[in-house]
Structure 1
Amino acid sequence: MTRAAALAAAAVAAVAVSGWLALVQVFWLPLRVAGVLVPLSVLAALVGNPLLVTLTHRLTGSRVVAVLPAVTWLAIALAATSRRPEGDLVAVGTGGLGTVTLAFLGLGVVGAALAVGRVVATPRPQASSGAQR
Structure 2
Amino acid sequence: MRQAERLSWALTALVVGTWLALVEVFWLPLRVGGVLVPVSVVVAVVGNLLLPAGALRWSGSRLVAVLPAVAWLVVALGAMVRRPEGDLVMTGGGATGVVNLAFLMIGVLAAAFSVGRVLAGPRRPAVSPQNARAPDPAGSGTGGAR
State TM-score, norm by structure 1. Answer: 0.91
Distance 1:25 1:50 in 2: 15
Unaligned runs of 5+ in 2: 125-146
* Aligned twin of 2:41: 42
* Aligned twin of 2:9: 10
Distance 2:93 2:123 in 1: 45
Residue 86 of structure 2 corresponds to residue 65 of structure 1: no
RMSD: 0.9
Which of the two has higher C-alpha Rg? Answer: 2
Deviations 1:4-50 (A, max 9, x none): 10000000011001111000000000000000000000000011111
Give 1:82's aligned amino acid. V
Distance 1:93 1:81 in 2: 9
- Shift >3 Å, 4+ stretches: none
* Aligned twin of 1:53: 52
* Aligned twin of 1:26: 25
* Aligned twin of 2:100: 101
Distance 2:123 2:9 in 1: 19
Q: 1:122: Cα distance to partner? A: 1.1
State TM-score, norm by structure 2. Answer: 0.83
Sequence identity (%): 60
8 Å CA contact 2:53–2:114 kept in 1: the answer is yes
8 Å CA contact 2:60–2:123 kept in 1: the answer is no
* Aligned twin of 1:121: 120
